[in-house]
Chains A and B, each alone.
Chain A
Amino acid sequence: MNKVLLIIQREYLTRVRKKSFIIMIFVVPLLILVMGGAIAMIAKNSDQLTNLQVVNVVDNTGTFAKKLHDVPNIKFTITHHDINEAKALSKKDENISTLYIPEGYPQKGNIQIFAKKKSPIQLTDEIQKQLNDIDFNNRMIQHHIDTAAIHSIKKSDIAVNAVEITDKGDKDANVGANIAVSVACAILIYLSLFIYGGQVMRGVIEEKTSRIIEVVISSVKPFQLMLGKIIGVGLVGLTQFGAWIILSIISSKIAGHAFNSPQSPMTGALAALQNIQFGYILGCFLFYFLTGYLLYSALFAAVGSAVDSETETQQFMFPITMPLLFTYILSVSVLFRAPDSALAVWLSIIPFTAPVAMMVRLPFDPPGWQLAISMSLMVIGFLFTTYVAARIYRVGILMYGKKVSFKELGKWFFYKE
């Protein structure tokens, strides 16, 4: 056991000391900070125009121009130039646009706005809204409907608030935030299984090609070496996540202060995120990362032991990673829309697909018994793959120059010591 600790120590330290590891620790939270900043900036600026836009209105119908009213940063002026002169004016100054309403009843597409640059969406939205209101009013008047009465009725503002009934009482259910979290978790767990599983595989190949393997296994059992490597790399993964979580919390706090913006759609979504039980999801994430990692990295180690170089891994990697890839694609496309469907339930229970599928379902509160089955099967699953992998590994690491097939791996499994 002491020797496994030594191996874990070596695997861990050689990776953690690498420059690339240290850089990654800081780069990822920095990216989050930058992205957060960018989102906050956009959110802050998206609602209003930043500078005054003057709109020269060329109204050939005469019904709209007078009824347009100014809003902050948009000023309407009625011009008596004809359209070409007005356009020439707009061409000179990018803050002057020309709204052109041709004669006849307005139809879709025949009202145009000319500007030197592409008109911002806030401007066109505002104009569109006002024109529709004016048209609506005009037609009510044409049909002798009391507009005052209509306006008083029209003042209503209803929003539907999604509430979930749970044992602990009702709670707000923000579906959008749930989807964001579940998809993010699926991506994160998928990527990390590949990254750290791949590291185990490359480590095994390195030991094999550098031929140190025989020196080491004359001191320890192949299983101890494999286990030490898997645990060592796993701890590297946990260290990385730990550092990211801490740094991300710090950087998001900083970001929150620096870009403290007034109410906007983005801050609404951020507020909804707070309703999600992060501790619970984080706990499950770590569990599924660890068990999923143990399950897959054992297989990756077996693949590494069977080949002489990384290029030969392809034929084995594809079948092994198929279930994961399949679940991942389903997860980011359909599973989050139907988190309680039969497909989602089954995928979240089968150990090979569960780490991704269950993380997708988690924000939607899957039944406790399903979570329990899924978790116990994960443990059984990784014990099983480790057993199978160890039997292939012990033979594979001493085999050189052999083109190996799945049939060959099967034979190795049944070899005696």
Chain B
Amino acid sequence: MLSIRNIVKQYAGHRALDDVSLEVESGQIFGLLGPNGAGKTSLIRIVNQITAPDSGEVWFNGQKLNPSHIERIGYLPEERGLYKKMEIGEQMIYLARLKGLSRDEANKRLKAWFKKLDMESWWKKKIEELSKGMQQKAQFVATVLHEPDLIILDEPFSGFDPVNAEVIKDEILELNKKGATILFSTHRMESVEELCDSIALIHKSHKILDGKVKHIRNSYRNDVYLVEYSGQLLTFENGQPFDQIGETISDDDRHTIRIKLQDGRSSNDVLQYLIPQTRVTMLQEVIPSMNDIFIEKVNLMS
């Protein structure tokens, strides 16, 4: 769907993107992660043809990116806004027409969206009369009104209250189900695990990690387990097939420990060692969260 190949973008004084390559497959929800100033927005602007790369290429559905693709992409920038003095209905029809929709078609679709999101009474209102959350909602509709194949959302949830964020999230998932590919940038990790199929992590203008979320998390497994047992508090001196990490957390006669397997041992060895001594109520592998991986990777770099 979207293939970004060896992109370099140089600004006066600093390099925003250094040899970045990505593959976004059709139908995916793709998360572009990275701390502020990593180069996410620069990359997104290149895909939107707002700026051009110094070198490298972008391919869209097997074609080199060209202006005809603009109408098939929907873009919600991080810094968003609308004409303050313009009526909302008229304004959104204008934006849709800039994306190549006819006036009638835009009108029809907009009415449907307004109905769906309970915005019908806003049609004649000016943007400056709406609350910030309402403006964001309107802007989201403007982004997807022309039914783009690729929807690019830069920090889509910033500025939304939890209720509206949930509404927008559901809409994103629904659009994705209907076939739209979604590329969104964020530094909020919890939304990544919930939404994304694949991610790329960008840090200091380099791509330092990419792939399917499941694969990445699995590849970061480090044999850490959470064990809960009840009964007498145990102490581990030697002979056990694992090392304890951190303190034991006790709640009455229930004790939780975090352990790391020793080389060559498995979770079965842990059970075999523990069962004769106590009653094991839980053994669970701790798969690192994207947040952990993110922080680990970023700290490793700096």
Q: Which residues of A contact B (CB under 8 A)?
A: 3, 6-7, 10, 14, 206-207, 210-212, 214-221, 398, 400, 411, 415-417
Chain A nearest Cβ from B81, distance in angstroms: 3
Chain B: which residue is nearest A3 at the CB level? B98
Say whether, besides A214-B77, A215-B80, A218-B77, A14 and B95 are in contact (CB < 8 Å). no
How far does the alpha carbon of A324 sit from the alpha carbon of B128 in the complex, in Å? 37
Chain B: which residue is nearest A225 at the CB level? B98
Say whether, besides A210-B83, A218-B50, A218-B75, A10 and B95 are in contact (CB < 8 Å). no
Say whether, besides A398-B50, A417-B52, A214 and B98 are in contact (CB < 8 Å). no
Identify which of B48, B84, B86, B94 contacts A218 (C-beta below 8 A). B48
Q: Is the CB of B98 within 8 A of A211?
A: no
Q: Is the CB of B95 within 8 A of A215?
A: yes
In the bound complex, residues from chain B placing their C-beta under 8 Å from that of A10 are 94
Report if B82 contacts A (CB, 8 A): yes
Report if B142 contacts A (CB, 8 A): yes
Q: Is the CB of B83 within 8 A of A212?
A: yes
Q: Is the CB of A14 within 8 A of B86?
A: yes
Report if B54 contacts A (CB, 8 A): yes
Q: Is the CB of B98 within 8 A of A219?
A: yes
10 nearest A-B residue pairs (beta carbon): A211-B81, A417-B52, A219-B98, A214-B77, A210-B81, A218-B75, A218-B48, A211-B79, A212-B81, A219-B99
In the bound complex, residues from chain B placing their C-beta under 8 Å from that of A210 are 81-84
Report if B111 contacts A (CB, 8 A): no
Interface size on B, residues (CB 8 A): 30
Q: Is the CB of B142 within 8 A of A215?
A: yes
Chain B: which residue is nearest A7 at the CB level? B98
Identify which of A14, A211, A398 contacts B80 (C-beta below 8 A). A211
Q: Is the CB of B52 within 8 A of A416?
A: yes
15 contacts between A and B (CB under 8 A): A6-B94, A7-B98, A206-B83, A210-B81, A212-B82, A214-B77, A214-B80, A218-B49, A219-B95, A219-B99, A221-B67, A398-B50, A398-B51, A415-B12, A416-B52
Report if B73 contacts A (CB, 8 A): yes
Chain A: which residue is nearest B77 at the CB level? A214
Report if B175 contacts A (CB, 8 A): no
Q: Is the CB of A218 within 8 A of B85?
A: no
Q: Is the CB of B85 within 8 A of A14?
A: yes
* Known pairs A210-B84, A214-B79, A218-B75 / 15 extra A-B pairs, C-beta < 8 Å: A211-B77, A211-B80, A212-B80, A212-B82, A214-B50, A214-B80, A215-B77, A215-B81, A215-B143, A218-B77, A219-B70, A221-B67, A415-B12, A416-B54, A417-B51
Chain A: which residue is nearest B139 at the CB level? A215
Most buried by B among A3, A207, A212, A217: A212
How far does the alpha carbon of A6 sit from the alpha carbon of B103 in the complex, in Å? 11
How far does the alpha carbon of A53 sit from the alpha carbon of B208 in the complex, in Å? 102
Q: Is the CB of B12 within 8 A of A411?
A: yes
In the bound complex, residues from chain B placing their C-beta under 8 Å from that of A219 are 70, 95, 98-99
Report if B97 contacts A (CB, 8 A): yes
How far does the alpha carbon of A112 sit from the alpha carbon of B126 in the complex, in Å? 71
Q: Which residues of B contact A (CB under 8 A)?
A: 12, 45, 48-52, 54, 67, 70, 73, 75-77, 79-86, 94-95, 97-99, 139, 142-143
Q: Is the CB of A218 within 8 A of B70?
A: yes
In the bound complex, residues from chain B placing their C-beta under 8 Å from that of A14 are 83, 85-86
Chain A nearest Cβ from B124, distance in angstroms: 14
Chain A nearest Cβ from B263, distance in angstroms: 52
Chain B nearest Cβ from A195, distance in angstroms: 19
How far does the alpha carbon of A206 sit from the alpha carbon of B81 in the complex, in Å? 10
In the bound complex, residues from chain B placing their C-beta under 8 Å from that of A7 are 98
How far does the alpha carbon of A400 sit from the alpha carbon of B79 in the complex, in Å? 11
Chain A: which residue is nearest B82 at the CB level? A212
In the bound complex, residues from chain B placing their C-beta under 8 Å from that of A416 are 52, 54
Chain B nearest Cβ from A325, distance in angstroms: 31
In the bound complex, residues from chain A placing their C-beta under 8 Å from that of B86 are 14
Chain B: which residue is nearest A209 at the CB level? B81
Chain A: which residue is nearest B12 at the CB level? A411
How far does the alpha carbon of A360 sit from the alpha carbon of B66 in the complex, in Å? 49
Most buried by A among B12, B97, B98, B142: B98
How far does the alpha carbon of A283 sit from the alpha carbon of B241 in the complex, in Å? 97
Q: Is the CB of A215 within 8 A of B97?
A: no
Q: Is the CB of B85 within 8 A of A215?
A: no
Chain B: which residue is nearest A6 at the CB level? B97
Identify which of B50, B51, B98 contacts A6 (C-beta below 8 A). B98
How far does the alpha carbon of A243 sit from the alpha carbon of B84 in the complex, in Å? 28
Chain B nearest Cβ from A395, distance in angstroms: 9
Chain A: which residue is nearest B84 at the CB level? A210
Chain B nearest Cβ from A223, distance in angstroms: 12
Chain B nearest Cβ from A16, distance in angstroms: 14
Chain A: which residue is nearest B53 at the CB level? A417
Q: Is the CB of B98 within 8 A of A220?
A: yes
How far does the alpha carbon of A50 sit from the alpha carbon of B36 in the complex, in Å? 83
How far does the alpha carbon of A14 sit from the alpha carbon of B49 in the complex, in Å? 28
In the bound complex, residues from chain B placing their C-beta under 8 Å from that of A212 are 80-83
How far does the alpha carbon of A3 sit from the alpha carbon of B98 in the complex, in Å? 6
How far does the alpha carbon of A219 sit from the alpha carbon of B152 in the complex, in Å? 13
Chain A nearest Cβ from B197, distance in angstroms: 24
How far does the alpha carbon of A14 sit from the alpha carbon of B45 in the complex, in Å? 29
How far does the alpha carbon of A6 sit from the alpha carbon of B93 in the complex, in Å? 11
Q: Is the CB of A215 within 8 A of B75?
A: yes
Chain B nearest Cβ from A224, distance in angstroms: 10
Chain A nearest Cβ from B96, distance in angstroms: 9
How far does the alpha carbon of A200 sit from the alpha carbon of B142 in the complex, in Å? 25
Chain A nearest Cβ from B142, distance in angstroms: 7
How far does the alpha carbon of A398 sit from the alpha carbon of B75 in the complex, in Å? 15
In the bound complex, residues from chain A placing their C-beta under 8 Å from that of B99 are 219
